[in-house]
Structure 1
Amino acid sequence: MPEGRKCISCIGFRIDDSKRDSLGRCSRMLKRLLTDMEVKRVMGSEISCPSNQLPPNLVYVNDEPLNQVALALLQSCPNPPKKLRPGRYWYDKASGYWGKEGQKPCDIITAQLNSIGGQLQRNASNGNTNILINRREITREEVWMLKIKMVHTKKRARKMSLVDSQSSNRLG
């Protein structure tokens, strides 16, 4: 089983991305049919098979497609994004905030991965508060979280710098 649990006619083709979560997870039926050693070998080949890997050209970060080196760096960093799938994402290199394009942050990953993606856009998270953090306009939910953390914001435009998701500096 060079590519894991694939049937013979599917060998060499990419897996369905909706089934990516079950990649490398053994079913109860397979555990009953095979020995523990065989199950480990099949699951290992399923995970490491090149045709089962996420294609880098289908992952966009800050409006730029990733290459194989950038995808490998992103997946092997100390705190990688959870459940990375093909799609469009934004990444704040200074703070490590990560999210789907047009949505609020969904994860905090390793910061300072400078070779990942392009320049962060102001409208990356579709914010509408006129408050900028690291040149990205934040969402109302983020303003609410900042208020809970006791970072006061005013109605006029405010610019902030967030570094490593821990400290903040006011710029304007």
Structure 2
Amino acid sequence: MGAMPEGRKCVTCIGHRVSESNRKSLGKCSRMLKRLLTDSKLQQVFLDEVTCKANQLYARLISVNGRPLSEEELDRLQTCPDPPKKLKPGDYWYDKLAGYWGKVGEKPCQIISHNMNIRGAMTEHASNGDTDIFINCQEITKTQLMMLKEFGKGD
């Protein structure tokens, strides 16, 4: 089968970025490859596929607080102690003080490392809040308000 320095790519595709529609299958095995390759070779192919530079997300495809990330910011984001899970190209908001992370117009989907040096100011309607209560310059959602009340910080 030969060397597969970037995983399952044809010879003409090596060095080019992976299609975003194929990104979800990176590192996942097909039945055909299971039949053709040994377990150790499969592990090496998928490790190469997931870690090679050409298959990584491009920073400019990810926008945080209204600004595209730089390569350094993307690296900082992916290597922090609590990085965003399943990061995909798109527009996100990040509350630097609390560590809340979410897609623009949606409630926070997780809490990541706080106080990361990512430029861009969060807008007050980043999470599409609907409570008229502002924390860290952002209108919070009803879910966030319920969490605060649960922990004795609301009302």
Return the letter of the residue paired with 2:137: R
Match of 2:134 in 1: 132
Q: Do structure 1's residue 143 and structure 2's residue 131 form an aligned pair?
A: no
Runs of 4+ in 1 over 3 A off after TM superposition: none
| Aligned ranges 1:16-165 → 2 under 5 Å | 16-114=19-117, 116-153=118-155
Q: Secondary structure at the match of 1:88?
A: strand
Could you tell which deviates more after superposition, 73-82 or 39-48?
A: 39-48
Could you tell which deviates more after superposition, 123-132 or 97-106?
A: 123-132
Q: Secondary structure at the match of 1:60?
A: strand
Per-residue deviation, 1:35: 1.3
Cα deviation, 1:112-139, whole Å, max 9, x if unaligned, reads 102x131121111111211011111111
CA RMSD of aligned residues (A): 1.5
- Alignment check: 8 A CA contact 1:65 1:117 kept: no
Q: Do structure 1's residue 5 and structure 2's residue 11 form an aligned pair?
A: no
Could you tell which deviates more after superposition, 98-107 or 142-151?
A: 142-151
Return the letter of the residue paired with 1:10: C
Q: Which runs of no fewer than 5 residues in structure 1 stay unpaired? A: 154-172
Q: Which runs of no fewer than 5 residues in structure 2 stay unpaired? A: none
Identity %: 55
Count of matched residue positions in the alignment of Structure 1 and Structure 2: 152
Match of 1:170 in 2: none
Question: Separation in 2 of the partners of 1:112 and 1:151?
Answer: 22
Per-residue deviation, 1:145: 2.4
